[in-house]
Amino acid sequence: MTPRRAPKSVSAADLLGTLGRLTARARAGAELQLARVELAEALQREMLPGSLPALPGLRSAARYAPARHGLDIGGDWYDGFRLAEGGLAFSIGDVQGHDVEAAAFMGQVRVGVRAVSTVVVDPGEVLSRANDVLLSMDCELFATCTLLRFDPGTWTLESARAGHVPSVWATVDGSYGISDDEGGLPLGVEPGARYTVTRRRLDRAGSIVLLTDGVVEGPSFPIDVGLERVARVVREAAGADPDEIAAEIMKVADSTGHADDAAVLVLSHDAAGPPRR
């Protein structure tokens, strides 16, 4: 039987040296993670638009809040831009994943949707083509998205949704709801995906809210509860200043204890006039 060796004695100096090396390694790792988070946040904010378009009778505003603990930043975006024929387009979305890679991919998705929108009118077709572009990039990430197109000539709103959180709407007469339009798969998942378009004429003044899941979902906070809270906020303030509505909705995000990014985009609109002949 081989005799067991006596344990090697370790001096206090050895222990302190080992602890110092481990501390330095942990500090270096923490500093690297902090640098990545700061870079992701900088990319995120630089890629979000500095302003949103508006037309007489249609006003828009947006708010964004990074993840509470800085670890899940990088995936959410919103956008708004003018179309060649005089209309407006608005989008909001959320990239699966976080950190610098998600922030960079978010920028690609946002720009891709905007670029396709300049040559394609139908929102569903825009999402289909954007989906194919993302798949051609051979990236493992995917994104959810909602795209709206507003036609000032007919006062009609067309929308398509790619796996994203439903929008919320309310009118000044007290009607409100959570959009139940048919959606499709997230962008970047399956080739040839198709997206149904919902068309709605804005006959009554009110507000429409697009948001990401960080606004309405948190630890032990179900998404349906969050959506209902947002719906109540929008019902009480329908048609009001969109920036004020966005600020109130972000209070809902604070109440969920969200660990993810949170973004909201609000459109407040007047009632449609008589149809043009």
- My answer on whether 181 and 237 are in the same domain is yes
- My answer on whether 243 and 143 are in the same domain is yes
Range of the domain at 38: 14-47
Domain CATH for 71: 3.60.40.10
Mean pLDDT of 24-37: 53
Query: How high is the pLDDT of residue 85?
Result: 86
- My answer on whether 221 and 258 are in the same domain is yes
Which of 38-42, 46-50, 231-235 bottoms out in mean pLDDT, i.e. has the lowest? 38-42
Query: How high is the pLDDT of residue 165?
Result: 94
3-state DSSP helix/strand/coil % of the chain, to nearest 5? 35, 25, 40
Mean pLDDT of 261-266: 92
Average pLDDT, the chain: 83
- My answer on whether 104 and 116 are in the same domain is yes
72-127: per-residue pLDDT in tens?
555 788 999 999 889 999 999 998 876 667 777 888 888 899 999 999 999 999 99
pTM of the model: 0.82
- My answer on whether 169 and 67 are in the same domain is yes
Query: How high is the pLDDT of residue 261?
Result: 81
- My answer on whether 18 and 133 are in the same domain is no
Query: How high is the pLDDT of residue 220?
Result: 73
Query: How high is the pLDDT of residue 6?
Result: 46
- My answer on whether 93 and 54 are in the same domain is yes
- My answer on whether 158 and 211 are in the same domain is yes
Mean pLDDT of 185-194: 94
* Number of domains comprising the chain: 2
Does 176 score more than 60 pLDDT? yes
